[in-house]
Every structure is written in C-alpha cells, then in structure tokens.
C-alpha cells in the first residue's frame, strides 16, 4: 500500500468517526469538532487523489486539487468561527431567558429595566431594526 492509498483510507476512517461524533457528540461544541473531522477526512481523500495524479504526471502532487483544498480549509475555518459565535450566543440567550424566568424581580443587566422582555426582544424581528438606528 503506497502513501496515497494509506492516507486515503485514513481519510475515509476520519469521515466515519467524525460522522459518528457529529450525530452523537456529547455537546454542541464536540459535534462541531467532529464535523471538522469529517472535513479533514474529505480533504485528506482529496489529497490522496492529488498525490496519485501528481505522481502520474511527474510531480509531487497535482496543483489544482491542492489549490482547492487551500481555499476549502480557509472557508471551513470561517464556517467554524461562525458556528462558535452562534453557540456562545445561544448559551448567553438561554441563560438570560432562564434567569429571567427564575427570578422575575431581579435584573441581570442594569442597562435594561425588564430582563424578561429583553430576553425575548433581542431575538424578536421587530427589535432588530430599532436597535441599529
């Protein structure tokens, strides 16, 4: 087995492991991490194909798949950053809603008088336009 086949099979294994983790991960962060494993496995398979093509064409690796993988890596990073921001926002909103439901009298945030209305208002479509003006 040459290195292209070996890393190709390794990539196939990573896709399977990542898929399992993305479905059954312990937490949302772990599922995001597992999703990145799937991406990594797909890139490795692509890399193995690039290696085979490159060796057949007289180079170390086919440059066209390499270029596509580089752009893919950057886009995968951007998508992960967005997912992380969504997770943190989700946790914040969930906590605000929970604390508002538990203690309706107290306010977590001094800038707004009513925490209960704020937890809803932030996600409400009517509030978004007013917030930016």
Smallest distance from another protein to CB 98, Å: 9
- 11 is a site residue for another protein (CB under 8 A): yes
What are the E-state strand segments in the chain? none
Angstrom distance (rounded) from CA 133 to CA 131:
6
Residues 28-57 that bind another protein (CB under 8 A): 28-30, 32-34, 36-37, 40, 43-45, 47-57
Contact status, residue 14 vs residue 44, Cβ threshold 8 Å: yes
Smallest distance from another protein to CB 64, Å: 5
- Residue 6 tokens read as 């070996």
Smallest distance from another protein to CB 65, Å: 8
**Number of shown-chain residues binding another protein (CB under 8 A):** 88
- 119 is a site residue for another protein (CB under 8 A): no
Which of 116, 61, 122, 113 has its CA nearest to residue 89?
Answer: 122
- 114 is a site residue for another protein (CB under 8 A): no
- 116 is a site residue for another protein (CB under 8 A): no
Q: Which long-range contacts (CB under 8 A, 24 or more apart) does 109-112 make?
A: none
């Amino acid at each position: 087995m040459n290195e292209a086949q070996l890393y190709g099979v390794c990539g196939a294994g990573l896709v399977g492991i990542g898929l399992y983790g993305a479905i059954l991960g312990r937490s949302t962060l772990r599922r995001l991490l597992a999703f990145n494993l799937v991406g990594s496995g797909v890139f490795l398979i692509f890399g193995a194909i690039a290696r085979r093509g490159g060796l057949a064409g007289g180079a170390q690796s086919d440059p066209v798949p390499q270029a596509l993988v580089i752009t893919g890596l950057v886009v995968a990073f951007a998508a992960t950053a967005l997912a992380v921001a969504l997770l943190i926002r989700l946790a914040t909103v969930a906590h605000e809603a929970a604390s508002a439901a538990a203690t309706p009298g107290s306010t977590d945030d001094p800038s707004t008088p009513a925490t209960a209305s704020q937890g809803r208002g932030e996600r409400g479509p009517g509030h978004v336009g007013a917030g930016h003006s």
